């Protein structure tokens, strides 16, 4: 097992595309095969653009700063999600700030 560091973040970002919302998905024609893209790494190594990356490009063009998407990692369930951002910083609309009140994490 790899070493794990759990971190807390203060997030105030919008708009975030919610893949659980059928209305949002329908409006941008987002389908399950784009979200569950198990061959993304092989596609990238072959020089192709994986469907999930093409979806991210569409969402960025539509003004989204990130998306809430089900985790498709081995062993996860349908109710386990990841919040994915393609850009973030200290200011809105894409503010994501690491909480490290006790200064335990490296600054380098």
* Domain spans of the chain, in order of start: 8-99
Q: What 3-state class would DSSP assign to 95? A: strand
Task: List the 16-18 sheet strands across, edge first.
Answer: 16-18, 66-70, 81-85
pTM of the model: 0.78
pLDDT in tens, 37-93: 788 889 889 999 988 889 999 999 999 999 998 888 888 888 899 999 988 889 988
pLDDT (0 to 100) of residue 93: 85
């Amino acid at each position: 097992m790899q070493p794990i560091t759990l971190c807390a973040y203060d997030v105030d970002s919008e708009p975030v595309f919610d893949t659980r919302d059928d209305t949002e998905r329908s409006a941008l024609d987002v389908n399950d095969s784009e979200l569950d893209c198990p061959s993304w790494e092989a596609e990238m190594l072959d020089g192709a653009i994986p469907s999930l990356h093409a979806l991210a490009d569409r969402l960025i063009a539509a003004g989204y700063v990130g998306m809430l998407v089900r985790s498709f990692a081995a062993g996860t369930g349908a109710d386990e999600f990841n919040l994915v951002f393609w850009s973030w910083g200290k200011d809105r609309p894409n503010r994501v700030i690491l909480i490290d009140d006790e200064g335990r994490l490296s600054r380098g």
